[in-house]
């Protein structure tokens, strides 16, 4: 197969590049490196089945030759990134999705959209199943990301209904693992970076808000399984094991052996109070559920952060 991955130099995108190359496919990676990292794809550059195209997917794209699948993973994905690049985030969710869908249609290829648990906003239903429509503030600071992804889902379904395109929508919950950026502003890299530097761990609010963390290898397996199904409806991919942010900070302190204090900061606007996926659909449709225990995944991630901090 020949697979196009937009945002292929990003955290999840680069792991998808690696997986498809390992499976013997050709991979075309599209990235403009606003938030993607060149180092993520350096290991693949010498592979004859890997092609890098430096391009902004918000602009029309033509790819020579056959394409079997287009996976649209281009977008800032952490609050610090989409608040820094709000207009680019809206554009990649709208214009970028339009262009990626257009490429899939021109090539009669499958299309997989990287959507997000953020489409549920600050949910009033817990856990969140795919039939929940969400509780989103469209004009809040997080709205640029939430609404971009909601629009991207709507456009993906429109192409499926109007053009018969084989489309798939993955609603991705918090994912972690090697190749995350230490400075991306999310809880896990924040906590690990602070602990390794001996700085206080910053917990927002009182730390009672919950998250569910899925290791990257588990997520990639779910994405690959979803791509080859006939399911066009959204599918939650995440780990249903829920933990409070305060408990999570303490886990990371224990894992690192750090002596840092935990300090509390004001809760950001529209920060979700709870977040846990109902993965019944993924279990039934894909035969998928996470396998990597959180402590094991955290240790692998910590080892990665220690290496890059030492190298830096």
Distance CA 76, CA 93 (A): 10
CATH 3.40.50.1820 fits 2-178+214-239+276-291, yes or no: no
pLDDT value of position 82: 92
- Kindly tell me if the per-residue pLDDT of 225 is higher than 70: yes
pLDDT value of position 311: 78
Give the model's confidence band at 270: pLDDT under 50 very low, under 70 low, under 90 confident, else very high.
confident
Extents of the domains making up the chain:
2-178+214-239+276-291
- Kindly tell me if the per-residue pLDDT of 309 is higher than 90: no
Residues of the chain with pLDDT > 90, as a percent, come to 94
- Mean pLDDT of the 224-245 span: 97
The answer to whether 57 and 99 are in contact (CB under 8 A) is yes
The model's pTM:
0.96
pLDDT value of position 191: 95
Instruction: Read off the pLDDT of residues 240-266 as tens digits, 9 standing for 90 and up.
Output: 999 999 999 999 999 999 889 999 999
pLDDT value of position 254: 95
Q: Which of 82, 145, 159, 176 is catalytic?
A: 145
Please state, in angstroms and as integers, the Cα–Cα distance from residue 305 to each residue in 18, 182, 197, following that order: 19, 7, 11
pLDDT value of position 118: 95
The mean-pLDDT minimum among 71-75, 271-275, 300-304 falls in 271-275
pLDDT value of position 312: 66
Residue 145 annotated as catalytic: yes
The per-residue pLDDT of the chain, averaged, comes to 96
Of residues 281 and 259, more confidently modeled:
281
Of residues 267 and 306, more confidently modeled:
306
Instruction: Read off the pLDDT of residues 47-60 as tens digits, 9 standing for 90 and up.
Output: 999 999 999 999 99
């Amino acid at each position: 197969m020949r697979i196009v991955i937009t945002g292929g130099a990003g955290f999840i995108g680069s792991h998808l590049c690696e997986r498809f190359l390992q499976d013997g496919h050709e991979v075309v990676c599209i990235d403009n490196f606003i938030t993607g990292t060149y180092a993520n794809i350096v290991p693949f550059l010498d592979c004859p089945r890997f092609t890098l195209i430096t391009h902004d997917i918000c602009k029309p794209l033509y790819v020579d030759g056959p394409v079997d699948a287009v996976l649209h993973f281009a977008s800032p994905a952490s609050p610090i990134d989409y608040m820094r690049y709000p207009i680019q985030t809206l554009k990649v969710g709208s214009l970028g999705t339009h262009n990626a869908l257009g490429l899939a249609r021109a090539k009669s290829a499958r299309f997989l959209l990287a959507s997000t648990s953020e489409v549920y906003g600050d949910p009033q239903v817990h856990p969140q199943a795919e039939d929940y429509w969400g509780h989103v503030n469209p004009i809040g600071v997080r709205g640029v990301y939430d609404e971009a992804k909601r629009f991207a889902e709507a456009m993906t379904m429109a192409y499926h209904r109007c053009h018969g395109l084989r489309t798939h929508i993955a609603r991705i919950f918090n994912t972690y693992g090697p190749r995350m950026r230490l400075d991306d502003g999310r809880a896990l890299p924040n906590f690990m970076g602070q602990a390794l530097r001996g700085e206080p761990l910053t917990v927002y609010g009182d730390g009672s808000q919950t998250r569910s963390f899925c290791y990257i290898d588990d997520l990639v397996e779910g994405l690959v399984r979803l791509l080859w199904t006939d399911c066009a409806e959204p599918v939650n991919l995440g780990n249903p094991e829920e933990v409070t942010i305060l408990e999570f900070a303490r886990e990371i302190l224990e894992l690192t052996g750090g002596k840092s204090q935990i300090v509390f900061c004001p809760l950001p606007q529209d920060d979700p109070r709870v977040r846990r996926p109902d993965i019944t659909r993924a279990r039934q449709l894909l035969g998928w559920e996470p396998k990597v225990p959180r402590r094991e995944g955290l240790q692998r991630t910590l080892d990665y952060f220690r290496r890059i901090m030492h190298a830096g």
